[in-house]
Chains A and B, each alone.
Chain A
Amino acid sequence: MDTSNSLVIETHNLSKAYKGVQALKDLNLTVKQHSIFGFLGPNGAGKTTTMKLLLGLIRPTSGGGTVFGQEIVRDSVAIRSRVGYLPQQPRFGDEMSAREMLHFTAGFFFRGPKAGIEERVDETLALVGLADKADRPIKGFSGGERQRLGIAQAQVNYPDLLILDEPTAALDPMGRRDVLEVMERLRAHTTIFYSTHILDDVQRVSDTVAILNHGELVAQGPIEDLLAGGDKPVYTLSLKGDARLALARIEALPWVSGVREVAHNGFVTWEISVTDDQAAEAQLLGHVLAGEALTVVEFSRKKFELEEIFMSIVEGGTDGR
């Protein structure tokens, strides 16, 4: 676990069925140390199931996985001693105050010194902006305050891995902003594996993303790669002039898998899907400009919006784009 490329989570064909219904199918997931890993998928895709499997709250039907190299079923307690978890709908024992709850949580990890634990609780409360409500009973907390307290209890033990199930779902825009800022601050100290369906949040803080649909992993990788089209890059080319012959030339290229005309504003714009991005970047313009007198107005690799990718994958089945 010393190098930055170490894997914190690794699953091998991890599967879970509930009474014959397959909730998770052959999940092969890798999460690197110090990443903020966004785990996306529509409701019922299997995100929470995956998190519970990693924590030993449920058992796999087949397959397995490791967290910190330890086996998720056999070494569950040892794994949980290094993890912080925020459940989707956090409930903690409403009769306690926020401070009492954090003391109780810290008691699972630390046995002393008392002053040190007290200080840790105080700084955790400050981190999530609950210092002024520390001694109020949790039952009076709003949804957003409960969520922030949930994050506080999840990281009071300096976890090596934070597993957050929909950490921003119940929050207003300001609350979401605060939670995302906390996550960014924690990145230096821990790995964050979180589920969400708020795509703006993912695009803002995540460095790695996986998309789950109907229990199957349909995309996984660095967010930059995903936004750049992954292994199916698309280039945008805008031309001035009669481009009909140029179109025929590029459609004939073996590494061009499709050309889509997207606009006609005095010039023609194509989205060209390719199978070889190096060939496209080195040769595409040459082939276009080989014949007619054309003017290239724009040539760039298309940057997708995460929502665009997510919707095409989820609505287009596992095949995606």
Chain B
Amino acid sequence: MVANTELQRVELSGWRTGLANLLGKENRAWWASRRWLVHSVLWTVIVNGMVAATVFLLAPRAGQDPLGIGIEMLFKFGGMALAIGTVVLVHDATIGERQLGVTEWLLSKPVSRPAYVLSKLLAHGRAVLVILVGLQGALGYGLLSLIIGEPLPLPPFLVGMAGLAVNTLFYLALTLMLGVLTANRIALLGASLGVALIGFLAVPLGSTVSTFVMLTPFALIHVLPTAVLGLPLPLSIWVPISITAVLSVIFVAVTLARFERLEF
């Protein structure tokens, strides 16, 4: 029998207590199974399949500029698809474990509550940034470069990718926040997807994107194609990116504060 004293104890480390172990579990759930592969293929088909179908099939028939419509599809409709994908993938992260009693079990171990929330945020954030944003962006870049027969200018494309990443993290933070504000899965999905869809559908109602709309997170994916194509915008592209990033941080802060008070 191994003696208690032969094992090295984990030291308590304030808000980080339990984080490394929880993060390891969340990361293993993504990367030590076929989950990453399934989602890589699925989102490639959805996002870049849509881009490829548009630029190779629809644009030539309609006589449209394939690069312009390709960028539009990648950043606007792709951004929307990735937002919905993030909500669907992440909504179970807190609410599913709460409903099953797994959260209660985990919090009966030496785990700080911030560590629990941050493990979800960091592990799912990494997964959606790599699989949903990074991979789709890289494939999209290759596809668009193929259309114009030369590499697409990288700096504006990277600005677009930064916007896409912030937009995806916004919906991740929103979903996690709603996951601690409600224990109702339908309410969570309805609210998260509702924000994404209403924001997406409401913005184009005006003829052009106004200064006011650019101050909301909903404008981001609408203005990204313009920014990537180097066309003028009422405000710098960094304004909606910054506003969306700040709102995401606020959502995380609300999640941490609310989770601290939750009872299991």
Contacts and interface: CB of A to CB of B under 8 A. Distances in A.
Contacts of B4: 158
A247 interface: no
Interface string A75-110: 001101101010101111101000000001101111
B101 interface: yes
B117 to A, nearest CB: 15
A87 B101 contact: yes
Given A59-B263, A77-B111, A85-B108, A110 B8 contact: yes
Interface residues of A, number: 34
A119 interface: yes
Contact of A108 (B8, B104, B111, B263): B111
B7 A104 contact: no
B233 to A, nearest CB: 46
B109 A78 contact: no
Contacts of B110: 77-78, 80-81, 108-109
Interface residues of B, number: 30
B112 A77 contact: yes
Contact of B109 (A80, A89, A158): A80
Contacts of A81: 12, 110
Contact of B17 (A55, A77, A104): A77
Contacts of B9: 109-111
A120 interface: yes
Interface in A208-249: none
Nearest to B101: A91
Interface string A150-178: 00000000100000000000000000000
B21 interface: yes
Contact of A58 (B101, B105, B263): B263
A52 interface: yes
A182 to B, nearest CB: 15
A123 B1 contact: yes
B26 to A, nearest CB: 11
Given A77-B12, A81-B110, A108-B110, A120 B104 contact: no
Interface in A246-269: none
Contacts of B20: 107
B102 A92 contact: yes
Nearest to B100: A91
A85 B102 CA distance: 13
B45 to A, nearest CB: 25
B107 interface: yes
Contacts of B102: 91-93
Contact of A52 (B12, B100, B264): B264
A77 B106 CA distance: 12
A105 B111 CA distance: 11
B258 interface: no
Interface in B24-59: 24-25, 29, 33
User: Among B33, B110, B111, which residue has the most Cβ atoms of chain A within 10 A?
Assistant: B110
A57 interface: yes
A57 B20 CA distance: 21
A112 B112 contact: no
B148 interface: no
B257 to A, nearest CB: 15
A162 to B, nearest CB: 12
Contacts of A113: 6-8
B18 interface: yes
A296 interface: no
Interface of A: 52, 55-59, 77-78, 80-81, 83, 85, 87, 89-93, 95, 104-105, 107-113, 116-117, 119-120, 123, 158
Interface of B: 1-2, 4, 6-10, 12, 17-18, 20-21, 24-25, 29, 33, 100-102, 104-105, 107-112, 263-264
21 contacts: A52-B263, A55-B108, A58-B263, A58-B264, A77-B110, A78-B12, A85-B108, A89-B101, A90-B101, A91-B101, A95-B29, A107-B10, A107-B24, A108-B10, A108-B109, A108-B110, A110-B7, A110-B10, A116-B6, A116-B7, A120-B2
- Closest A-B pairs by Cβ, 3 of them: A81-B110, A85-B108, A58-B263
